[in-house]
Amino acid sequence: MSKIRVYIEPEKISEFIDLDEKGIIHKVKDVLRLKVNEELYIFDGKGREYLYEIKKLKNRSVLIEKKAIEKEQSLPEKKIILGFPFLKEEKIDFILQKATELGVFAFIPFICERSIRMVPSPNKLTRWKKIIIEAARQSERLWIPQIYDALDFKEIAKSNYKVKLVAAFHGSNLEEIINKEWKEILIIVGPKGDLTQPELAKLKENNFQFVRLSSHILKAETAAMFAVGLINYCPAKPL
């Protein structure tokens, strides 16, 4: 059986936890058919994972007891913040899921000239967070990425991250400029049809580095995954 992981908010971690969320109860009792004295792992999304033991199976909850702190991890040294424009729903879902698996620290959705016009509702934000949590659970991440409030293009252009990159076909090859001193990196990708020339000019004014990911034209979601993968896993060069 694969490792059983459940996400619980940090403030709810205690010696005993009464799991009462319907989805968790269904998985524990009906899907996995776990029994009393069997174990599962609880992660808090803030760098800790705990080993718990099932003490009691109730009709509407599962009582578990903490046995040990299984893993602890400080904040990652390299923090990748991925900025993406509003796209079709399935494309955003893909970006959130796969970038979480690849180790993104945070997401910033933004509005630009060619992005889909959207004002995220509370329900949509909740759904996005669920996608991120599930991807973190499956990939055994200890830190759950944040998703920041949506920005308009001028706001993201003026953001004050030390390293600011934009995926652009006419730019420096990303793998040639990555260096080990990068600790907090904002990388943004454009929408279908790319960012407009005035938008690219605005980014240049605000000290964004233009980076080329491929010799081919990439879709926004492909560019996002490729950029995150390169930044996280390409051998870094010293300054």
Mean pLDDT, range 96-103, rounded to an integer: 96
Closest CA to 231 of 30, 78, 19, 74: 78
pTM: 0.91
Dump pLDDT digits (tens) for 5-60.
999 999 999 999 999 888 888 888 888 889 999 999 999 999 999 999 999 998 88
Dump pLDDT digits (tens) for 167-221.
988 888 887 788 777 889 999 999 998 999 999 999 999 999 999 888 888 899 9
Dump pLDDT digits (tens) for 113-144.
999 887 778 888 999 999 999 999 999 999 99
pLDDT score at 5: 93
